[in-house]
Structure 1
Amino acid sequence: MPQQGETGPRQNQNRATAPARTGGEPVRWAPAGTTITLMTVTGLLVVGQLYAVIPLLPAMARDWGGTHAEMTATSSLFGIAYAVGFLLTGPLSDRFGRRRVVVTGLTAMAVTTLAIAFAPSLAAGGTLRVVQGLCAAGFSPAALAYLTERLAPRHRPVALSCLVTSFTAAAITGQVSAQALLEVSGWQGFFAVSAAAIAVVVVLLRIVMLPDAPQPGGSLLTPFRVMARLVVRPQLALVCLAALSVLSSFAGLYVALQLLGPPVLVRSDGAMLALRLSAFPAMVAIPLAAPLLNRYRATHRAGLALAAGAAATLALTAAGDSVLVVGVLMLVFVTAIMVVSPGLTQLVSELGAPARGAAVALYTFALLVGASVGPQLVAVIRDAGFTAVLVVLGAVQVAGAVLVAVAGGLAGRGRGQAEREGAQTP
């Protein structure tokens, strides 16, 4: 029987009839369409900065006098700072409010992004990329928590799907926009235009996002102590461990195709770009299908999706040199990956309530760590060949599916115990 999230349809219907309260005050729902659109565009802009430098690296290397390896390190520096920053901004958004953290972080990011365009050297540019990553971290955990708290329940599945999908789609849109602007205004122009775009969305977010509810006082360290307690919650810990498999397999598989895949892909950047663009139907379809997907428990659909992704990955071993077959299997794989995260994000937010920012920060940190580990895993085992790499990446997804299944089992036992205790209560 289909079920709504981890809580059941009846409970969600009850929630829909009574707006959430914070500090004893009623909270009105945010405008769904405007909020979802603006958050999705912002996600593309912010996360796109992680991937956009890939086509810019040769031009930046010429101007800064760095090697290709040194330039690639600037992208890693952004990614590391971005992931670590989640562990700071998530708890801070619990303490100071979602809108305040989002607006402050993105304002600083706009200034830093503009400064990169004028950086005179590799050292200065690398330092600014670290600062840019830390500032960018002000968006994702706080935005995900905001959508869970401030949108009416019926809009949350679509909202979370759109925002999480934008994080993955940014890998494509970031590179495409950077390549287009590079030919018009150089790499400096890309960062200048990005800074202006971020500044615009900051103003719009300040207008559209509802004011932060009154925040409790207390020590600044309190939300970080809460985060430490969240880490040891078994179900939340299992979901975060499973999250490592999501983007590690996603990033790892694209790197494997680029380095070791069919010759037509290895020899042609255009073919690889076309393969990436072919994933867009999945990125559009999954948010639209969110109401249907949300009828099933998050752990059930995430586990099945990871298993389907593993099957598509292993099927690539038999694809040969057929670009069409590879394209179809990659569409299945990307669709599966797109299904996983929105439901788990909502589940993590519920498990961490009221410290949703801290809980989502832990989850998104695990996702980004996975994205960094995946390519490194491919680099370590690449000498074993393309087939061996695919088998390992498939195994990673199977392990993630098992962890999600165990987390779902814990949730089921918890619900059963609660029902038994309720039945015994006079």
Structure 2
Amino acid sequence: MRPKSLGSFRALPAPPRWFFKTAALPLNALLTASLRRVVRERPDVFQKLGRFQNAVFLIAPMDMPFAFRLKPLARQGIVEIVTGQEDKAYSVRISGNLKTLLGLFDGTIDADSSFFGGDIRLEGATDAALALRNALEAAELAAAVNWTHEKGGKLLLAINTFARAGDTGEWQRAVDCAARSGVDAVIAADLGVLAYAHSIWPDLRLHLSVQAAAGTPQAIAFYAETFGVKRVVLPHVLSVEEVTRLTRAVDVEIEAFVYGGLCVMAEGRCALSSYAAPGSPNLTGVCSPPDSVRFVEFQGMTTARLGDFAIDRHAPGEPAGYPTLCKSRFVIDDKPAYLFEDPVSLNAMDMLAGLKRAGVTAVKVEGRQRGKAYVSRVARAFRQAIDALEAGRPTAPYADMLADLAEGRKETSGAYRKSWR
């Protein structure tokens, strides 16, 4: 067969199958050796595969003439390069362009958005692909811990949703993964999760999540004495004066929120979000999940919908917050009004000095459902403000750095200044 001319280039025929099989032999051996090393060094990563530990995963780049067949625990792990009919045997096939697939595996591309956006395709047992993603996330956690420690920081992991009856294994496996990955602390709220972590991993440092809503010396003492909790994240409902009295009455570190969304519920125990959408902060760690949110343009207005409910409507250019039921408008006496709470963000940057005097050990930025850019900007601004405070300089120059990130473009000091009392 003569190659076809493409201007100054020539399109060559694809090499025969035996070429790939011969050329792939050393690469097969190298990839298999790498996989087996991971299996030996991090067996917990592959435990995340659950019943799919012996499944066959076919990673198929659509822009390459071959695929990778991964058998995680069969004979301690095998990776093969396959072509043609050889790529028919699999439990699940994950296909996409090579760049996307590599991004999925190194964590630079989000798996969920790639799937829902059509960048990757799944064939076969999709739950096996989910198990593989969980295993990869476990591997990413260990890498994140190492990177954080190299930079002189600490990595705290929140496992602060509430375990479901008959399905506590997922939370226990998360604690195991966190402990084996070397995180500096786990932030938890569920009594069963705390009990498991304290008994199975006695050297694992435990912090009490805001979800536990521990706001009295007696409650904090219970968690400290029963589970060895070293730090407590306070509820959003305390004034600076109340925080001061509390820190003086307890023997643990105190952490306080200084920026982000506010919740009118009992620290995440929300029935509203789970009523309108398939998720809630206390069970799945999400409020108004993005896949349940839609925006509809109608008669020059933008209607925000959560699941089957229209929950707010905005005129062009009108500031709006992320659509949640608690920060939505309802018709009351024939007038639309915010029934539970206005869309507004906590910003306690000007309260840093007072919180320091109150005995607060650390400050916390609300990061649930937030992107990397948001977290980076807020953390950087507060880091600069805290450094200025330590150096005796005012924090005012940093106060306006985050105005465009606030919900509804409005900020509040929340309960720290309780003007209604």
Higher RCO by CA contacts (8 Å cutoff, separation 6 or greater): 1
Structure 2 length normalisation: TM-score?
0.27
Larger Rg: 2
**Structure with higher helix content:** 1
**Structure with higher strand content:** 2
Structure 1 length normalisation: TM-score?
0.26
